[in-house]
Amino acid sequence: MYFLLNQNTTPTELGEINPNTTVLQWLRINNLVGSKEGCASGDCGACTAVIGELVVENKKQVVKYKSINTCIALAYSLVGKHLITIEGLKEGKDLHPVQQAMVDESGSQCGFCTPGFVMSLFALYHNETKINLSKINDALSGNLCRCTGYKPIIAAAFSSFNEKSKKPSDYYTQNRTKIKQEIIRLNENQKVSSSYTNNGNTVRYDAPSSLQELAKVLSENPAAQIIAAGTDLSLEITQSLKEFSHIVNVTSVKELQTIRDGHSELEIGSAVTYQGASRSLFNYWPDLEAFLHRFGSLPIRNWATIGGNIANASPIGDMPPVLIALEAKLKLRKNSNVRLVKLEDFFVSYKNTILKKGEFIESIVIPKPTSKEQLITHKISKRYEDDISAVCMAINITLSGDQPTSVRIALGGMSGIPQRAHQLEKVLIQYWNQDNLTQQAYKALQKEFTPFSDVRASADYRLKVSANLVKKSNLMMKGENVTDLAETTQASSFLEA
């Protein structure tokens, strides 16, 4: 099994490796030690590299590059792709413009985080023609630096773009056509299925490329572990030191990577990433742009799938409340049997769903909004970016004048599952234009939810902040300026403690 690595013109063989191996582990075993391991959980960015993969854009095949966290991506997911690491940037003796800019702007002190920052800046440099502070902040949203501080690094991002206008393009731009042809060739001939034996234990890996093959392999091996991008699951390997004996990767299945923009619904394949789905989602629900900007970091959104977020069934996953409020359904498949279930009926108890052994999520079907429907989303977390929610709220509301005629609300972080708030919906209809809306919302939430207390927030805080979010939504819909009401756990309250 082969992939392209850096500026090597001949494909690199993955070799005989345990399928539980991460990209970062593979790199370091193979003496490419520029990428560092800081956290091994996708949080610090020291391991960031850039991956190029073949996608179809405007009916043409192109290679798209994106930053990813190599510590939580499995090495087998490299097959048929192009991996660029920090070792691949220099051309002869010349540093790449982003490396040179980091030197010139003194963007590094101890240097541990530097390869990760450089790779995030390289992805920005490669993908953008013009930049601004917001694009730089987004590109660096997954990178932490403990000693240099961010100002010189941001200055380096700007100055690399100054150079870009003067100098000829880098190796990867100059060789774009050759690289694409090689990747096309690699993808034509590869079958990704492998068996690895170590100390008498056999570990199997399959990455089927069609829906039919995936259904077959899962029905024949119902105990196999499904993985998509692995941004949740790989942590079991890197943090809990678990080893899976049979891994089935769903991200090569073409049918699971497609988005169907139908007459009355949007159908998103379960292996579509956040970045991949963003254009379609923002087109129909513009409020999601600000909300999804706060989902993990850019490398996470580049790699993680929506299906993985749902199947992971975390009570603090961000997409389930949004999709429940939008009345989404899941297409579940086991062999040739397909069932369509409401997402709100999918979650059974903490981390448990109705998925049967051998069954998988094929797609997410979302009814398109009517012209009067409006989606409002809130995420409360300790940090503004790259943090998991303490509370997540999604309200899908239709108003007639200033009176709601229909409301669907769902919340995350308020019980063991992402949950619809039926009582609260009634309160919004009844008290929307009353002064006591927040108090009535609080009472309804107390009846309907028993939140937990944990490191992110206490149960009482969760109830109160949810009632406050109802009031905030109400003010937003009435055209009040509520932008100063920050959505972090330090946020101010309407409801007194």
Ligand X SMILES: Cc1cc2nc3c(=O)[nH]c(=O)nc-3n(C[C@H](O)[C@H](O)[C@H](O)COP(=O)(O)OP(=O)(O)OC[C@H]3O[C@@H](n4cnc5c(N)ncnc54)[C@H](O)[C@@H]3O)c2cc1C
Of the two residues 42 and 97, which places its CB atom closer to ligand X in the complex?
42
Dihedral sign (CA 10, 15, 21, 24): negative
Of the two residues 233 and 365, which places its CB atom closer to ligand X in the complex?
233
Structure tokens at 49: 């590299």
> Which DSSP state fits 211?
H
Distance set, CA 288 to CA 285, 319, 320, 387, 425 (Å): 6, 10, 13, 17, 21
Per-position x/- string for 316-335, each x denoting binding to ligand X as judged by CB under 6 A, each - no binding: -xx-----------------
What's the angle, vertex CA 297, arms to CA 144 and CA 374, rounded to 5?
145
Backbone angles phi, psi at 270, to 5 degrees: -65, -20
Interacting partner of 110 out of ligand FES, ligand X, none (Cβ under 5 to 8 A depending on kind): ligand FES
Structure tokens at 69: 């966290």
How distant is the alpha carbon of residue 428 from its chain centre?
31
Q: Is 312 in the site for ligand X (CB under 6 A)?
A: yes
Residue of the chain from 159, 257, 309, 374 that contacts ligand X (CB under 6 A): 309
Q: Of 227-235, 443-451, 459-467, 484-492, which part binds ligand X (CB under 6 A)?
A: 227-235
Q: Is 51 in the site for ligand X (CB under 6 A)?
A: no
Q: Write down the least CB distance from residue 42 to ligand FES, Å.
A: 5
Q: Of 105-113, 220-228, 401-409, 483-491, which part binds ligand X (CB under 6 A)?
A: 220-228
Binding site for ligand FES (CB under 6 A): 37-40, 42-47, 69, 71, 108-114, 145-148
Interacting partner of 317 out of ligand X, ligand FES, none (Cβ under 5 to 8 A depending on kind): ligand X
Q: Write down the least CB distance from residue 299 to ligand FES, Å.
A: 8
Of the two residues 237 and 437, which places its CB atom closer to ligand FES in the complex?
237
Q: Are 142 and 385 in contact (CB under 8 A)?
A: no
* C-alpha to C-alpha distance for 260 and 139, rounded to whole angstroms: 29
Q: Write down the least CB distance from residue 26 to ligand FES, Å.
A: 14
Interacting partner of 292 out of ligand FES, ligand X, none (Cβ under 5 to 8 A depending on kind): none
Residue number closest to ligand X, CB atom: 308
Q: Are 328 and 335 in contact (CB under 8 A)?
A: no
Q: Is 270 in the site for ligand X (CB under 6 A)?
A: yes
Nearest to 323 by CA among 308, 304, 339, 342: 342
- Considering only residues 61-100, where is the footprint of ligand X by CB under 6 A? 72
* C-alpha to C-alpha distance for 355 and 258, rounded to whole angstroms: 22
Q: Write down the least CB distance from residue 256 to ligand FES, Å.
A: 26
Residue of the chain from 227, 298, 323, 328 that contacts ligand X (CB under 6 A): 227
Nearest to 410 by CA among 384, 443, 447, 449: 449
Q: Write down the least CB distance from residue 273 to ligand X, Å.
A: 8
- Considering only residues 361-390, where is the footprint of ligand X by CB under 6 A? 361, 386, 388
Of the two residues 97 and 418, which places its CB atom closer to ligand X in the complex?
418
Interacting partner of 428 out of ligand FES, ligand X, none (Cβ under 5 to 8 A depending on kind): none
Q: Write down the least CB distance from residue 191 to ligand FES, Å.
A: 29
Question: Over the range 31-51, which residues count as b (16 or more CB within 10 Å of their CB) and which as e?
Answer: ebebbbbbbbebbbbbbbbbb
Q: Write down the least CB distance from residue 10 to ligand FES, Å.
A: 28
Nearest 10 degrees: CA dihedral of 331, 333, 338, 344? Answer: -40
Q: Are 206 and 77 in contact (CB under 8 A)?
A: no
Q: Write down the least CB distance from residue 293 to ligand X, Å.
A: 10
* C-alpha to C-alpha distance for 240 and 232, rounded to whole angstroms: 12
Question: Using CB under 6 A as the criterion, which residues of the chain lie in contact with ligand X when the complex forms?
Answer: 41-43, 72, 226-233, 250, 270, 295-296, 300, 304-305, 307-309, 311-312, 317-318, 360-361, 386, 388
